[in-house]
Structure 1
Amino acid sequence: MFTGIVQATCEVVAINKKDGLNTLEIAMEAELREGLITGASVANNGVCLTVTRLEDDRVFFDVMEETLAVTNLTKLQVGSQVNIERSLTFGSEIGGHILSGHIHTQAKVRGLSNTEQHYNIELELDKKWMNYILYKGFVGVNGCSLTVGETTANGFMLHLIPETLKLTNLDVIQLGDILNIEIDSQTQAIVDTVERVLALRGIKG
């Protein structure tokens, strides 16, 4: 379980590609590795991955074929920066919202606006997921817990503050880039429940 508060961006220093499996080698600073053990869960760009090996300042993760197919981890290259969050521990402050680390879909960057006053990102995704992405609601984007801005039939806006840009890899994205999206589970549960109730009553949404 995660909160969507990214702790650091870390560099991919090697990718060992095999049939149906990629092993990521991530360089992590000592503070971020403290207490980390083999088998622990760590979010990489919002994807929950299991630590398979620790070696000096390197942490290794195996990424299965299914995960590669549905996330942007398949697009990582040596030198890429990934958003990293250690799993939530009992008693930790929850500054974002609860995330599972299971990616629902991906969004394409279709607009960027960077001025002295703002940094806005416009994202496009399959419109079926927009049932769960609501204005002023929460969404996980590359593992970051963010507030949803204006919405359209097949997309939404993000309005980012400098602190978010400093701590995450969202400051280096470009038009056409693909970002991992995890919708808010509570919003999904409420929307699906209401739709089922309305369907049982013969009411069309």
Structure 2
Amino acid sequence: MFTGIVQGVVEVTRLEAKNNLTTLGLALPRETREGLQVGASVAINGVCLTVTHWDEQAVYFDAMIETLRTTNLGSLLQGSEVNYERAARFSDEIGGHLMSGHVIDQVKLTARQELDENNLRLEFTVPEQWMKYIFPKGYIGLNGCSLTVGEVESNRFSVYLIPETRRATTFGTMPEGTPVNLEIDPQTQVTVDTVERVLAQRGLA
């Protein structure tokens, strides 16, 4: 599990594309590597990946065909920057909301609004089937970052970023048109699906 509090931005220093599999080498900081083991989980742009090995230059992960298809990891290039977070431990403070690292789809950044020197509004366009899980003031996971939903309208929603979030994540310089990994709050998804199922059983949906 992850907290959705991104620990920083890191560069993809090695990328090896194979048949339906890509090996990513990330230049994780030395302090982030402390206690890291083969088999450990790290969220990369919100995707839970497993450490396979490391060397002095990078820590390595394999992304399989379904991950490459569903998430923006499939479009990464050597030199790309990604958000990262190591898996949460029982003693960690949960400053965001619990996230699984299971990305369900991608959304597109369609608008950036610099409201003032301290506030940035981002607007995303979402595939229609996911909009029923997105509510104003609800939680959303975007590239591994736990954020609070602002406005919701039709097939779009917005979030507002404080300076620290801009500094610690790729959102600070992300251009419009960028695909972003989406993770829905699981409690919201279960609630909505349960209500829909009960209404359908009663012939009310």
Matching residue of 2:40: 40
Identity %: 51
Matching residue of 2:23: 23
* Alignment partners' CA distance in 2, 1:163 and 1:191: 32
Q: CA RMSD in A?
A: 0.9
User: Any conservation in 2 of the 1:30–1:57 contact (CA below 8 Å)?
Assistant: no
Matching residue of 1:52: 52
CA shift, 1:22, in A, is 0.6
Aligned length: 204
SS at structure 2 position matched to 1:165 = helix
Matching residue of 2:166: 165
Matching residue of 1:190: 191
Q: Does 1:175 align with 2:179?
A: no
CA shift, 1:45, in A, is 0.1
Q: Deviations over 1:2-31 (max 9, x none)?
A: 110001111100101111111001001111
Matching residue of 2:9: 9
* Alignment partners' CA distance in 2, 1:83 and 1:29: 13
Q: Deviations over 1:63-103 (max 9, x none)?
A: 11110000001111111111000001112111111111010
SS at structure 1 position matched to 2:95 = coil
CA shift, 1:115, in A, is 3.8
CA shift, 1:127, in A, is 1.5
Q: Deviations over 1:142-200 (max 9, x none)?
A: 00000001001211001111110000011121111100000000000011111111111
CA shift, 1:116, in A, is 2.1
* Alignment partners' CA distance in 2, 1:26 and 1:103: 20
* Alignment partners' CA distance in 2, 1:90 and 1:115: 38
Return 5+ residue gaps in structure 2 as ranges. none
Q: Does 1:202 align with 2:198?
A: no
Counterpart amino acid of 1:82?
Answer: V
CA shift, 1:57, in A, is 4.2
User: Any conservation in 2 of the 1:112–1:121 contact (CA below 8 Å)?
Assistant: yes
* Alignment partners' CA distance in 2, 1:65 and 1:202: 39
* Alignment partners' CA distance in 2, 1:115 and 1:160: 10
* Alignment partners' CA distance in 1, 2:198 and 2:150: 28
User: Any conservation in 2 of the 1:43–1:86 contact (CA below 8 Å)?
Assistant: yes
Matching residue of 2:103: 103
